[in-house]
């Protein structure tokens, strides 16, 4: 939550908490879909607990929070854990699919028909989150399970990218078949060239699935 107090601290705490929990797992054991769901849920809930604890112990960090979208790949099976308005996309065979659903007030307004899709981009409440990591002790985590076709591309990104770059442009860049690092750098540059009004994080994995 880049516009909020200590948002950078919250995101760093989330990453470190997830990495610590991940390091404790037995990576040589096979994971069922159910176990993969639990692993990702635990990673995000542990991050939530760490952020809340830090905010309680330091008043200058009160109210800090972050979005979190993580993927766990097991062969061709992909599990996504998600809270907030960062996003996960899968690109395959000239199609781009948005896997996650934004936890935002704008998304709620779109769902109930109070806002039309063409009004969404410039809507004044598009950045208001309805769910984030580090805000409440009770946190609901969205979990998605997908079977990927061979050669799929996965994109995880923050709204700093998607507010400036359309889904179609994401797909076009990723279909150029550059290496993932170059794809990510090109997308970040495109968003920055258009103003770069928010923090931008992009993670891309290519040639996965199957």
Q: CA–CA distance from 191 to each of 92, 112, 155, 197 (Å)?
A: 23, 30, 15, 9
Supply the pLDDT for residue 113.
73
d(CA 203, CA 66): 17
Supply the pLDDT for residue 105.
86
Locate the DSSP E strands across the chain. Answer: 68-74, 77-83, 87-92, 95-98, 142-147, 152-157, 202-208
Supply the pLDDT for residue 190.
95
Task: Taking residues 86-104, report their average pLDDT.
Answer: 95
Q: CA–CA distance from 77 to each of 111, 135, 184, 196, 200 (Å)?
A: 29, 31, 23, 34, 27
Supply the pLDDT for residue 103.
93
- DSSP single-letter state for residue 175: T
- Average pLDDT value for the chain: 88
d(CA 150, CA 162): 26
The encoded tokens of residue 39 equal 């692993």
Q: What is the full DSSP assignment across 26-66?
A: -TTS---HHHHHHHHHHHHHHHHHHHHHHHHH-GGGTT--B
Which residues, other chains included, contact 172 with Cβ-Cβ below 8 Å and sequence gap of 6+?
none
Query: Which region among 13-17, 27-31, 62-66 has the lowest average model confidence (pLDDT)?
Result: 27-31
d(CA 110, CA 116): 6
Task: Taking residues 17-38, report their average pLDDT.
Answer: 82
Assign 104 a pLDDT band (cuts: 50, 70, 90).
Answer: confident
Assign 46 a pLDDT band (cuts: 50, 70, 90).
Answer: very high
For residue 84, is pLDDT > 80?
A: yes
Assign 137 a pLDDT band (cuts: 50, 70, 90).
Answer: very high
- Per-residue pLDDT reduced to its tens digit, 148-190: 999 999 999 999 999 999 999 999 999 887 899 999 999 999 9
d(CA 147, CA 209): 8
For residue 118, is pLDDT > 70?
A: no
Domain ranges of the chain: 1-84+131-148, 85-100+149-210
Assign 128 a pLDDT band (cuts: 50, 70, 90).
Answer: confident
For residue 132, is pLDDT > 80?
A: yes
Supply the pLDDT for residue 198.
82
Domain 1-84+131-148: give its CATH architecture: 4-Layer Sandwich (3.60)
Helix (H/G/I), strand (E/B), else coil: 158: coil
Supply the pLDDT for residue 108.
84
Assign 191 a pLDDT band (cuts: 50, 70, 90).
Answer: very high
Helix (H/G/I), strand (E/B), else coil: 96: strand
Supply the pLDDT for residue 165.
94
């Amino acid at each position: 939550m880049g516009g909020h107090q200590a948002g950078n601290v919250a995101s760093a705490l989330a990453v470190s908490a997830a990495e610590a929990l991940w390091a404790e797992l037995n990576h040589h054991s096979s994971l069922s879909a159910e176990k993969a769901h639990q692993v990702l849920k635990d990673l995000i809930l542990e991050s939530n607990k760490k952020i809340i604890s830090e905010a309680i112990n330091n008043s200058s960090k009160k109210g800090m929070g972050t979005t979190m979208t993580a993927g766990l790949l097991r062969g061709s099976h992909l599990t996504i854990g998600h809270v907030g308005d960062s996003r996960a996309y899968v690109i395959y065979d000239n199609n781009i699919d948005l896997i996650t659903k934004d936890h935002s007030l704008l998304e709620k307004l779109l769902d109930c028909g109070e806002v039309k899709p063409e009004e969404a981009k410039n809507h004044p409440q598009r950045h208001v989150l309805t769910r984030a990591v580090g805000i409440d002790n009770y946190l609901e985590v969205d979990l998605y399970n997908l079977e990927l076709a061979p050669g799929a591309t996965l994109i995880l990104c923050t709204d700093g990218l998607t507010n400036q770059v359309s889904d179609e442009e994401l797909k076009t860049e990723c279909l150029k078949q550059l290496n993932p690092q170059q794809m990510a750098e090109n997308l970040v540059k495109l968003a920055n060239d258009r103003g770069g009004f928010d923090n931008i994080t992009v993670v891309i994995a290519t040639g996965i699935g199957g």
